[in-house]
């Protein structure tokens, strides 16, 4: 039995949440029915500022030096021209099987010398051990979604999907001190990420199945979000 709810679109990141450890179908169902907008979630704007600055730094370097930064060269492919950043509203495509439009906003896209694409994403965090990175599956699906969208939009085949971690240097020095404050250096560290287009299609169908259920499915034992939801439901208003 299905409900009248229809999941019309989903972001690459929300699709990626389906493959993290202890994925909770109940929470996913509720988030989807709320438009993936948690009413009490506040995302600090500083992270958006850092993300925007990272893209601008790359752009300024390419405009002035006419080549990508050295750390992008470490991927081992010959990058040519940088593709203008896409807004999620135009970087989107409806999946014919699930009927769900997949959307995203990749941080960087380049043409490669062989005519293929390179799709890269920035992460401002410590460079993690890949075997211990709990977000690695999410990032794999996120980048795979960008690759999937690019192919369906006719932008070309993607030969490289990868992450650039901006690892902050937290060891202060005399050079860190400025007249008006201080500065923090970041080291760019790269990681190639293997993606599977078939996985994207399977996840879109699963997202449709879960969100079309008439009631929230069973949650995962120990899910903290489920515990909060249950506590809220148990509150008796005076």
The pTM assigned to this predicted structure is: 0.90
Q: What is the distance between the alpha carbons of residues 159 and 181, in angstroms, rounded to a whole number? A: 42
pLDDT of residue 230: 85
Alpha-carbon distance of 209 to 202, in angstroms, equals: 11
Confidence band, pLDDT 50/70/90 cuts, at residue 74: very high
**Considering the domain 9-234 in this protein, what is its CATH number?**
3.90.320
Domain ranges of the chain: 9-234
* Residue in the block written with tokens 């390419």: 62
Residue 151 sits at φ, ψ, to 5 deg, of: -65, -45
- The answer on pLDDT for 2 being more than 70 is no
């Amino acid at each position: 039995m299905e409900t009248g709810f229809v999941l019309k679109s989903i972001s690459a990141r929300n699709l990626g949440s389906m493959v993290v450890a202890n994925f909770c179908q109940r929470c996913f169902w509720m988030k989807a029915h709320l438009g993936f907008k948690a009413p009490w979630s506040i995302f600090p704007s500083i992270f958006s500022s850092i993300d925007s600055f990272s893209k601008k730094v790359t752009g300024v370097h390419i405009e002035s030096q006419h080549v990508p930064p050295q750390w992008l060269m470490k991927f081992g492919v010959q990058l040519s021209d940088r593709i203008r950043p896409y807004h999620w509203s135009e970087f989107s495509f409806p999946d014919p099987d699930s009927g769900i439009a997949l959307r995203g906003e990749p941080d960087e896209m380049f043409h490669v010398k062989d005519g293929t694409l390179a799709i890269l994403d920035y992460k401002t965090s410590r460079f993690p051990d890949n075997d211990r990175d709990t977000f690695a599956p999410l990032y794999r699906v996120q980048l795979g979604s960008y690759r999937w969208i690019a192919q369906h939009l006719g932008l070309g085949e993607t030969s490289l999907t990868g992450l650039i971690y901006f690892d902050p240097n937290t060891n202060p020095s005399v050079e860190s001190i400025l007249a008006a404050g201080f500065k923090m250096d970041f080291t760019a560290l790269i990681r190639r990420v293997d993606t599977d287009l078939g996985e994207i299609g399977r996840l879109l169908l699963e997202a449709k199945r879960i969100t079309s259920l008439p009631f929230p499915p069973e949650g995962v034992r120990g899910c903290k979000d489920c515990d909060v939801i249950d506590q809220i439901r148990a509150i008796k208003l005076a």
